Structure 1
Amino acid sequence: MKSWFLSIFRRCTKASALYPNAAIVLLLLCLLVVCDQSDAQEMPTWEREAHGRIDQMRRKNLRVLVLDQAQKPIGNVSVKITQRRHAMPLGFAVGLGQLPNDIIGQQNLSAPLLRVFNSVNLGEIGRWDQLEPEMGLGDWGRLKYWLSWVNDMGLTVRYGSLFSANTSHQADWAALLGRRDLMASVELHQRQILNQFSNRVIAFDIYSHTLGHQLIEDQLSLVMVRRMYEQATALAPKVPMAVQMDNVLDPQRVQQAVARMSQFKKGFVPIKQWSVSLHIPADVQPQRLQSGLDWLAKLNVPIVVSNLTFAAACDSNAVRNALILLYSHQSVTAIYFGMPTASDLDTVVSHPLLDPTGKLTAMGLVVDDLFAQTWISRGELKTNSSGSLITRVFCGLYDLSATLPDGKIAYSSVFVSDEDDNQSSQTVVISPLAVSLEPLR
């Protein structure tokens, strides 16, 4: 590489006497080539492969066709493409006792995090013991407040945990019930929740904390777990029902998690998603993280990272590497970040996205840079002589506008789906809206 560059440099120097401008341009081009090749060599193999997977999975071809009022193609028209939301659910997980102001303060939709986030995971606040259905002592107000806030913000919402497999999360009164009464209470509560909220959420974690815990199996059997999922699926057939596990990528827990999920599958439990919480340590190794994800993916169950936290000692590089691996993995379908409140920052072991003043931390800047600057599509292109253009974009919601020859601007919107529908490209048409000014009859 060095000898090649020196050879070009000497030739440029000799040519500079006759063609000074050309020599300078050529020298600059050489420098750019060397820098590009140097960057490519410095990028680790795993990262280069991850970016290739991201391009293959998270991007699709978009064909834009611009028509005039007579519905004829218009060539050489400038088209502006702006991505508004990602297709993949991205958001934050709510902790017990948290309200919106505790997590994101007074941020609006243009704030850094909310221009990235499109979803909220309610976590544990809707869990059975938190709502205390039989005793009338539960915190239903917090659950309904969050659902109302999410709706006002135009975000989607994941219900989170419905029942826990951990005995420490069982209400005292429920522990006193006999098997028949416990089964009836579980079914009644599940039916009430799904009837009330299934049309407002995108998924439920029906059974949570199942790695190392099996409350329902111990008290009512695995058949009851299957019955819970069958009932939930019957009541809300379009809403995925998930099982949740904690810290599944801990080296000593990966195989246990796979064995636990295999147990559910062998018991014919109709699980549609695998909801997992992940804690990324400061010494995270990309190869080990990739290996853990590959282990989970063997069971062909879509993975939702329902609570992603980073060790306080994590630097920006570790955060970036972990997000690249998660976003590039074919089984990961959603990512929710754990969000400690300002009052937790002195004791929490996780790195927050925001500081107490509401500004992005170093970790928050990495999240914003990747999802709002790198993995996003925006720009201005021109149609060809046939009035169309094809570009490759990240999957998500788009606003498009075309500046027509008469100076008018035509608008359109499109959602580029991330589902594998085997289509070579998705087409959207931009055309001026012809509105008659005559009164309606």
Structure 2
Amino acid sequence: MATLALTAFFLLFIWNMAATSDGAYDYDTSSYTQCEIYPAAPLYNGGILINPSFEDGTHGWTELIGNSKLHIETQNNGNKYIVASNRQMTYHSPSQKLQNLSQDAKYTLSAWVQIRGAVNSALVKASVSMDGKTYISAGNIMAKNGCWSFLKGGFVPDWSPTHSKLYFESSNKHVDILVDSVSLQPFTDEQWRLQQEERIRTKRMGIVIVHVTDVHGNTLEKANVAVKQKSRRFPLGSAIAQTILGNEPYQRWFKKRFNTAVFENELKWYFTEPQQGNLDYKFADKMLAWCNANGINVRGHNIFWEDPKYIPSWVTKLNNEELQKAVNYRIKSVVGRYAGKFINWDVSNEMLHFSFYEDRLGPNASYTFYLAAQRLDPRTPMFMNDYNIIETSQDPNSTVDEYIEMLRKIKHSGRVMEGIGLESHFSKPNLPYMRAVLDKLGTLGLPIWLTEVDVNSNFDHQTQATYLEEILREGFAHPAVEGIVMWTALHPYGCYRMCLTDYNMRNLPAGETVDRLLFQDWMTSVRGETDKNGSINFQGFFGDYDLSVSLNGKTATQAMSVYQGDGIQHLYIQI
């Protein structure tokens, strides 16, 4: 037993050393969601920036353009920070020239920011100018008056500029911008990929030692061991539509790959009740039955959609009293019918961008939807779901801070098990920004799902596949992400924006990418021989496996699982 304990300790030591022995793994996951009295120290000691904590006055920092004033102030604990006052333009702020930006690097950015003025808060953006003609949005923060908020973001230059500048801006020209503990840290593409692989290895895989003995308990050396994964624990899937019903080629293709689904439209209010009182759940029922029969979990999407374009026309014509009765009936109807049958619910879709129900029923209308749905389905998490949270920092309606604030309001409305749904409708992905936002949301300790992943159809199929792989790898590698669903329901005309196959179930480039990830990169298959101690060890993705052991004409088989937990799993099998 001492030998086994020593072997296990050695394996864990080697595994952890592999994850930390290279400087490429020094990505700092730190993030903060509370407004603080004092800022923390700059990440990476400021990285490539000069004077990131303003201990040397304004050295390295200048006013971007114009007549605003820069000066240094000191807090009562001795902390120094820079202030841009007398701002006349949105971009009047502290700025610093950046040297040797490279299109072959990924840049992570962070800063502590606050505002001073007649308002309680204002949106402040971090931007980068390149060669005076391109301006990159690298992150944003809803900065508060009187305390420090943490901005975390990043960017990837489209080319290597001759000259560039980092600066901050706010559309509210009447506030002073205060900045401290600024950091800009580059990583090569190789370092970024190594970080992803290390996270996947430590967060999505476990170490297993298989011990082989005879019936008398004697260890057996040189026994042939084969381990083959047959299912995965991590929820990964796609949207489906009614087109999958009765379509056996589509069904075979889907269930071979995915363990999770979501109905594209068949559960939405305009689909299930196109005329008031005319309920129609037949397609949703049939699709759920097919998923259940094939071991596929389903997300409940959605109970309400705030966008008036997707609200039944008859609903928009109701007076307020009638509308309240209609929404109450909708919750009872759909949640009551499917309580306990979905793994999570999108309760009120796209609340950051639209506010139909709040405009009609009061500012807390959607929060009451969450509470009512939770009461009918108390064991199922209730998700917010919105777009442009991780896709871009240029949508002022969907900053990560606004998302967090709305989550807090839902929580304060009552006992609700919350979840974070990030639609993930990407154009060209900004991976440093995506990771930074996931870091920040991850501090909340709530389940995070990428719920509608796709890539803009403006790109050709191969480019879509390239960007899709970047998004899936980044999402799968982040420890806070608990599920990924692509928005790729198949129709005769194609898909919403991106298809994995054509209608004859032949893979398109995006489908080839998904297959390579699922069946090669994120699937475990091991063959080998036991050592002199009768053991063989391997790292495997969490999931279910078939184990086969043979020696001298004898064979034993056994089902096994690799599950998430501390330490090393030990499995014993006799021949």
- What is the identity, as a one-letter code, of the residue corresponding to 1:323? L
Q: More helix by proportion, 1 or 2?
A: 1
Change (3 A) 1:412 1:356: closer
- 2:505 aligned residue (351, 355, 358): 358
- Aligned-partner Cα distance in 2 for 1:397–1:254: 43
The alignment partner of 1:130 has SS state of helix
> Is structure 2 residue 338 aligned with structure 1 residue 197?
yes
Change (3 A) 1:161 1:72: farther
Partner of 1:131: 272
8 Å CA contact 1:342–1:355 kept in 2: the answer is no
| Identity, % of aligned positions | 21
Partner of 1:220: 361
> Is structure 2 residue 479 aligned with structure 1 residue 336?
no
- What is the identity, as a one-letter code, of the residue corresponding to 2:480? S
Cα offset, 1:279, TM superposition? 2.1
- Aligned-partner Cα distance in 2 for 1:72–1:182: 73
Gaps of 5+ in 2: 1-186
8 Å CA contact 2:237–2:485 kept in 1: the answer is yes
Partner of 2:524: 377
- Residues 160-171 of structure 1: matches in 2 within 5 Å? 160-171=301-312
- Aligned-partner Cα distance in 1 for 2:361–2:563: 41
Partner of 2:569: 426
Post-superposition CA distance 1:113-148 (Å, at most 9, x none): 543311111243212232119834344111011111
> TM-score normalized by structure 2?
0.59
8 Å CA contact 2:352–2:397 kept in 1: the answer is no
Partner of 1:413: 560
- Aligned-partner Cα distance in 2 for 1:307–1:50: 21
> Is structure 2 residue 536 aligned with structure 1 residue 389?
yes
- Residues 216-255 of structure 1: matches in 2 within 5 Å? 216-248=357-389, 249-253=391-395
Partner of 2:455: 310
Change (3 A) 1:410 1:86: closer
- What is the identity, as a one-letter code, of the residue corresponding to 1:306? T
Gaps of 5+ in 1: 1-40, 433-441
Change (3 A) 1:431 1:131: farther
Change (3 A) 1:417 1:409: closer
Change (3 A) 1:254 1:154: farther
- Aligned-partner Cα distance in 1 for 2:356–2:330: 17
- What is the identity, as a one-letter code, of the residue corresponding to 2:473? I
> Is structure 2 residue 468 aligned with structure 1 residue 322?
no
Post-superposition CA distance 1:325-362 (Å, at most 9, x none): 121122221111122535334xx673311023211111
- What is the identity, as a one-letter code, of the residue corresponding to 1:217? E
- Aligned-partner Cα distance in 2 for 1:43–1:171: 47
The alignment partner of 1:56 has SS state of helix
- Aligned-partner Cα distance in 2 for 1:429–1:135: 61
Post-superposition CA distance 1:139-170 (Å, at most 9, x none): 41110111111122221111221111222222
Post-superposition CA distance 1:171-224 (Å, at most 9, x none): 233334454554444334323433332332211111112221123323333544
8 Å CA contact 1:398–1:413 kept in 2: the answer is yes
Which fold has the larger relative contact order, with Cα–Cα distance below 8 Å and residues 6 or more apart in sequence? Answer: 1
Cα offset, 1:381, TM superposition? 3.1
- Aligned-partner Cα distance in 2 for 1:143–1:360: 26
Change (3 A) 1:130 1:166: same
Equivalent pairs, count? 380
Partner of 1:8: none
Partner of 1:57: 203
Cα offset, 1:399, TM superposition? 2.0
Cα offset, 1:105, TM superposition? 6.0
Partner of 2:133: none
More deviation, 212-221/47-56:
212-221
- What is the identity, as a one-letter code, of the residue corresponding to 2:555? K
Cα offset, 1:253, TM superposition? 2.6
